[in-house]
């Protein structure tokens, strides 16, 4: 158990350190594709430092929920990071590579608890934009979760467990034979869900402050100072974790620095893909989001059917 806790702690530290870098990489790429100079890839670290030094302005209409929500959001995200095995930690410490506590369903619902904390905080502030952002966030979550469970079910059936470490080991042992019709469909379903869960275009625009279109920004509009730093860090960590899961359950990574380097390269390429999508596509209307989630749900259903047919 001690080994598992140490492994989980290292995975959480890695997510805390690397998540802002991934966000900075995506924003820098978007700026370059749009012909702008843009911020440095280190800008998210500077933003966190800047927010942590500023004072907070808190409405007198808020309760303890508003103050506790950023801590709850970051805590659930850090615990989720402890559950997710990392190729980088496995390469640095091979003896600890199999000691991760990785329950897929627990991982999913820890992130859902963090979302609940943030939505509750948006409602607690009492502003119209906070309530609108919270309702939209839970609307998207209610559409995304069934598709996520279906896609995850395909992986759990093939691995015979809900343990992320065991699922990753199953992928490694199968090699490229893992790529069947059911897994490809599950991979595509998860791709849509990762975009929705991280609040990126076309579901949401992470850079907008337009009151009538924002989802995530609406919930955190009342936050400032250190609380805003905690929220931003948790959001970037969630993005890091979901992209990690998406890659690890579908690509047969082995152990060692070569595979850790391959993982970093693929993660950087995923960042390029997200930047391309956000540069050439616009955010869709909120009433068209169910079509995307419906497509993801159908891909999950087809993946499950293909699993039993094959």
Instruction: Measure the CA–CA gap between 128 and 218, rounded to whole angstroms.
Output: 9
pLDDT band at 216 (very low <50, low <70, confident <90, very high): confident
Q: What is the pTM of this model?
A: 0.93
pLDDT winner (highest mean) among 1-5, 25-29, 194-198, 252-256? 25-29
Residue 209 has pLDDT above 70, yes or no: no
Select the more confidently predicted residue: 174 or 271: 271
Chain mean position to CA 272: 16
The predicted structure's pLDDT at residue 155: 86
Least confident window among 134-148, 161-175, 193-207, 287-301:
161-175
CA count, 13 A, side-chain hemisphere, 288: 9
Structure tokens at 302: 């087809």
pLDDT band at 98 (very low <50, low <70, confident <90, very high): low
The owner of tokens 């209409």 is 61
The predicted structure's pLDDT at residue 94: 67
Q: What is the mean pLDDT of residues 241-247?
A: 93
pLDDT band at 300 (very low <50, low <70, confident <90, very high): very high
Q: Report pLDDT digits (tens) over 118-147.
A: 999 999 988 888 888 899 999 999 999 888
Structure tokens at 26: 């995506």
Residue 279 has pLDDT above 70, yes or no: yes
Select the more confidently predicted residue: 71 or 4: 71
Distances from the Cα of 80 to the Cαs of 1, 28, 151, 155, 232, in angstroms?
17, 27, 19, 19, 16
Q: What is the mean pLDDT of residues 83-100?
A: 72
The predicted structure's pLDDT at residue 96: 59
């Amino acid at each position: 158990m001690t080994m598992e806790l140490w492994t989980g702690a290292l995975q959480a530290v890695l997510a805390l350190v690397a998540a802002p870098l991934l966000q900075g990489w995506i924003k820098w790429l978007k700026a370059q594709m749009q012909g702008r100079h843009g911020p440095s890839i280190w800008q998210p670290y500077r933003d966190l430092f800047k927010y942590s030094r500023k004072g907070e302005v808190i409405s007198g209409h808020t309760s303890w929920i508003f103050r506790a929500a950023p801590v709850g959001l970051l805590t659930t995200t850090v615990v989720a990071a402890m559950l997710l095995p990392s190729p980088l930690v496995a390469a640095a410490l091979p003896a600890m590579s199999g000691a991760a506590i990785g329950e897929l369903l627990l991982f999913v619902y820890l992130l859902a608890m963090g979302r609940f904390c943030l939505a509750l905080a948006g409602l607690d502030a009492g502003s119209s934009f906070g309530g609108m952002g919270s309702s939209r966030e839970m609307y998207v979550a209610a559409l995304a979760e069934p598709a996520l469970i279906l896609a995850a079910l395909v992986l759990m059936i093939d691995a015979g467990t809900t343990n992320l470490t065991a699922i990753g080991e199953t992928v490694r042992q199968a090699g490229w034979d893992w790529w069947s019709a059911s897994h490809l469909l599950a991979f595509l379903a998860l791709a849509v869900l990762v975009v929705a869960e991280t609040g990126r275009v076309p579901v949401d625009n992470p850079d907008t402050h337009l009151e009538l279109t924002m989802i995530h920004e609406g919930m955190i509009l009342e936050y400032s100072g250190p609380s805003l730093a905690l929220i931003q860090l948790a959001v970037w960590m969630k993005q890091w974790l979901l992209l990690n899961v998406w890659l690890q359950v579908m690509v047969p990574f082995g152990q060692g620095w070569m595979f850790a380097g391959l993982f970093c390269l693929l993660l950087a390429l995923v960042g390029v893909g997200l930047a391309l999508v956000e540069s050439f596509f616009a955010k869709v209307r909120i009433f068209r989001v169910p079509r995307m989630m419906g497509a993801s749900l159908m891909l999950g259903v087809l993946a499950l059917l293909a699993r039993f047919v094959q």
